[in-house]
Amino acid sequence: MRTRRLSARWVLPVGGPPVERGALLIGADGRIVAVGPEPDVPRPTNAPAEDFGEALLLPGLINTHTHLELTGLADGPPEPDFAGWIRRLRAAKAARAPDAFLVAACRGLTDCWAAGVTTVADTGDSGAVIQALAEAGGSGIAYQEVFGPHPDQRDESLAGLERQVERLGRYVGGRVRIGVSPHAPYTVSGPLYAATAEFARRLGLPVAVHVAESAAESALLARGEGEFADAWRARGIPAPAPLGRTPVAWLEEHGVLSGRTLCIHAVRVAGPDIGRLVRAGAAVAHCPLSNRAHGHGVAPLAGLLAASLRVGLGTDSAVSVGALDLLAEARAAGVLAGLSAARALSLCTLEGAGALGLEGEVGSLAPGKWGDCVVIRPPRGLVAAPPEELVLASGPRDVLVTFVGGRDVYRSSRPL
């Protein structure tokens, strides 16, 4: 790749204030060389330069929770019965041909790029997403899921996970990482949580877990009651022991919480649970539109941020929210916690990178970081607004070009 220079009316580094009439220089190695006001950014004679006129140039967005292998699996809003929805989703996955997961993952990844997202943290069990990331030159963490609600399944489930991590290791490298995801408290036994956490520690792998999402999950762990508990009883699976734990306390008790753990959803977390997350140094993937679509309630985002937890934004799957739109998540998060447009933008860029432990590599436009950026057309009629507000008022249809490591991976067919 050649060194390239990009410029636009507004450059939003995110790590610093917006620059009017700014430019960005990306080196041949795909990393940022310089960013700042037009006159301060070098113009190497052999570097192609591209000016995007009135557009906004900002870091590529970081989606901290996707299930790209589910792309195209279902249409329409999810039904209100969450436990039933999970069962039907798993049946739909089981009916999908193995090859179809890779097709879905590739489409999901290109959809992300078209919506301005350049790094994903994805959970799934097919292994298709890490392959898609590696083969397409993407950036992200693929967390390999493991399931097993009966304590007797522990050894078999763990062995399966170990085999998958070994098999998928061929795709790890460069900008593609692998992690593990003991799926959720209603699909994973306490012993399997502990064993998976130990495996992750041994290999130094990051961990992602869906936690404190639904009322049914909390009822299962607190009292052995509710839809998930009923489903477990019907399958001969013993209730969690001991009862009386919150979902976050349950994870803590099984050694799952650490500075490498990403807690997805974290809706039902009260003060003591926030304290547990803080003590462990865990991060949160906040998914406001998925939480709303499933009727799970409202996560205490302001409280999580006030506690200085690392928080990023995630869309969850297309099966939950339809087309993935991380800027819509940022708007929802901003309303929820009363955030400025600049902070909401930070959550889906630099802070999202921080939640994944990737803040040294991506999330802002700074020398040394990857040349991941997105060019957005300002929404009509709003051009006088502050640039962060212009970004937040836009959506996937306004994305003009997306770059990953200085390579344009998406260009809109619409005129500039």
Using the minimum distance from each CB to Zn ion, give the nearer residue, 273 or 316: 316
CA 256 to chain centre: 19
For residue 290, give the nearest of 61, 14, 89, 144 by alpha carbon.
89
Task: Report yes or no: 284 and 263 within 8 Å, Cβ to Cβ.
Answer: yes
Name the one residue in this structure whose structure tokens are 């926030």.
274
374 contact partners, CB below 8 Å, separation of at least 6:
57, 58, 59, 60, 61, 116, 118, 399, 401, 402, 403
Q: How far is the CB of 183 from Zn ion (least distance, A)?
A: 9
Which residue in the shown chain puts its C-beta closest to Zn ion? Answer: 316
Q: How far is the CB of 65 from Zn ion (least distance, A)?
A: 6
Q: How many residues bind Zn ion (CB under 5 A)?
A: 1
Closer to Zn ion at the Cβ: 111 or 316?
A: 316
Judged by beta carbon, residue 208 or residue 249, the one nearer Zn ion is 208
* Part in contact with Zn ion (CB under 5 A); list of ranges 189-197, 213-221, 311-319, 353-361: 311-319
Choose the stretch contacting Zn ion; rule: CB under 5 A; options: 127-135, 170-178, 275-283, 310-318: 310-318
- Tell me whether residue 125 or residue 316 sits nearer to Zn ion (CB atom): 316
- Rounded CA separation 147/149 (Å): 7
Q: Which of 125, 227, 273, 316 binds Zn ion (CB under 5 A)?
A: 316
The pairing of beta strand 310-313 with beta strand 373-376: unpaired
Contacts of 198 (CB under 8 A, 6+ apart): 255
- Shortest distance, CB of residue 337 to Zn ion, whole angstroms? 21
> Residue 5 or residue 286: which is nearer to Zn ion going by CB?
286
Candidates 4-12, 222-230, 273-281, 313-321: pick the segment binding Zn ion (CB under 5 A): 313-321
CB 15 within 8 A of CB 36: no
Q: State the nearest-atom distance from the C-beta of 49 to Zn ion, in Å.
A: 41
Instruction: Rank residues 119 and 364 by Cβ distance to Zn ion and give the closer one.
Output: 119
**Least distance in angstroms from the C-beta of 249 to Zn ion:** 21
Question: Which residue type, as a one-letter code, is found at position 240?
Answer: P
Smallest distance from the beta carbon of 320 to Zn ion, in angstroms? 7
Stretch near Zn ion under the rule CB under 5 A, chosen from 46-54, 149-157, 195-203, 308-316: 308-316
- How many Å apart are CA 208 and CA 184, to the nearest integer? 9
Element (H, E) at 56: strand 56-59
Structure letter (DSSP) for residue 364: S
- Cα(75)–Cα(321) distance, rounded to whole angstroms? 9
Nearer to Zn ion, 316 or 329 (CB): 316
The residues of the shown chain that bind Zn ion, judged by CB under 5 A, are 316
